[in-house]
Structure 1
Amino acid sequence: MGDTHKPKSTIPQLEKATKPELLRALESSLGSSFSSEPICPPPNPLIIVISGPSGVGKDAVIRKLREGRENLHFVVTATSRPMRPGEVDGKDYYFVSKEEFLSMVDKNELLEYALVYGDYKGIPKRQITDYMAKGYDIVLRVDIQGAQTLRKILGNSAVFIFLVAESELELVDRLIDRKTETAESLLVRVPPPERSGNGIIGQRREH
């Protein structure tokens, strides 16, 4: 009585077969085709919130992140404060008038905003939604109070990184060295330690 089973496909020797021939032989032997779909689905885009007091080095950390990552979008904050020497509109911040900023608030265009050190700052929603839809990870740069507000909004869906200086003296040295502050603004930007993280500096609003 003859063997009624279908003979198994012979897999050619690696050194003699081309890659297409080897793939076809393997598929024939297994009885199924290899899928080109990812074995694991791509992870959901990540939201990274970097916060800390003025002068601690948030911008330096973000520059390093951007150097090594292509699929990373830094959300440019809108602000009503004047542009500093060397800053670029649309790259460092979106510089708008107080009236333009309040119009953005009225139109519900901001994820959160605050009056900080006498100037308005806020995070545009559209940058986040547009770039996450493209698969980009998102980086947000905020002050201490902004991070507290975003933690309430985003919860466990974001990674929160808080930067600290080596000492109070180191922090003040950095603020002085960047030559963007007046004596009066330094007094505002360097609050006593017991006030540095409890929301006294700026009152936040979330949308």
Structure 2
Amino acid sequence: MASTLSQKPDTLQRRGLMLIMSSPSGAGKTTVSRMLLEHDGHIRMSVSVTTRPPRPGEVDGKDYYFVGQAEFDRMVEDGAFLEWAFVFGHCYGTPKAEVKAGLRQGHDFLFDIDWQGTQQLYQKLETDVVRVFLLPPSIGELRRRLTSRGTDSAEVIAGRMARAQAEISHWDGYDYVVVNDDIDTCFAKVTQILAAERMRRARQTGLIGFVRELMHPVP
């Protein structure tokens, strides 16, 4: 077996992490998440289980795991979820076994969830969780972004604005808060956060053996 010293320090065995990205609708969470998945091959989206029916083009096992309500309820009873929630008439949950196995293997997962789901994940896997909250530069700009989509009625936009302000009130429950006034700058900051968190000593599980060999090299 090759010596641990033959490895580069930045390629030592590492435990994976769970990067949670939250924001009010219109603050850029979906865009930044998509950019991250496109530019970083070492992180993947956590695939949730949902009772929502598939939308056109969605693939079971890739976009979501689609199940019936009875199956979802059984999974809740069996403790199969790290977190789950009832949102807009449907249930969503994060499968426990898949994520825990991936973390042990050094895989990073990206989560696009709200503050309630974030709390549940943090309570169960605190040291594996990195919480990032994106804020709009102003409420006026947030309204402009929601309106410019041209897909929602004034009533729906008003509801989204009210929900956004409620979500913003939970900003202090996150490790990092980034103001998204420019999407490229915001993305750069998120990638810096991810890079730093990957280098945390507690996650570098290969460091113990590496340092031991530095201190007591084999003749």
Query: Shared fold (TM-score greater than 0.5)?
Result: yes
Matches within 5 A, 1:95-114: 95-114=66-85
Q: Does 1:196 align with 2:196?
A: no
Change (3 A) 1:160 1:77: same
> Unpaired segments of 5 or more residues in structure 2?
171-219
CA contact (8 A) 1:145 1:198 kept: no
Greater C-alpha radius of gyration: 1
Encode CA deviations 1:88-136: one digit per residue, 9 max, x unaligned. 4333322322222212212211101111222211111122123223321
TM-score, scaled relative to structure 2: 0.61
Distance 1:39 1:92, change over 3 A: closer
**Percent identity over the alignment?**
36
Q: 2:138 aligns with which of 152, 167, 178?
A: 167
Once the 2 structures are TM-superposed, how far is the Cα of residue 193 of structure 1 from its aligned partner? 5.8
Contact persistence 2:13–2:106 (CA under 8 A): no
Match of 1:140 in 2: 111
The verdict on how the C-alpha distance between 1:172 and 1:53 changes in structure 2, with shifts beyond 3 A counting, is: same
Question: Cα offset for 1:139?
Answer: 1.5
Q: Which residue of 2 aligns with 1:127?
A: 98
* Greater Cα shift, 37-46 or 117-126: 37-46
Between 1 and 2, higher relative CO (CA 8 Å, sep ≥ 6) is seen in 2
Write the distance in 2 (CA, Å) between the matches of 1:197 and 1:189.
Answer: 12
**Post-superposition CA distance 1:5-58 (Å, at most 9, x none):** xxxxxxxxxxxxxxxxxxxxxxxxxxxxx8763264333222211112234332
* Aligned-CA RMSD value: 3.1
Structure 1 Cα separation of the partners of residues 150 and 60 of structure 2: 19
Which segment is superposed worse, 60-69 or 150-159? 150-159
Matched ranges for 1:23-42 at <5 A: 37-38=6-7, 40=9, 41-42=12-13
Question: 2:37 maps to what in 1?
Answer: 66
SS in 2 for 1:196: helix
Matched, 1:154 2:152: no
Question: How many pairs does the alignment contain?
Answer: 166
Give the TM-score normalised by structure 1: 0.64
- Which structure has the highest helix share of the two? 2
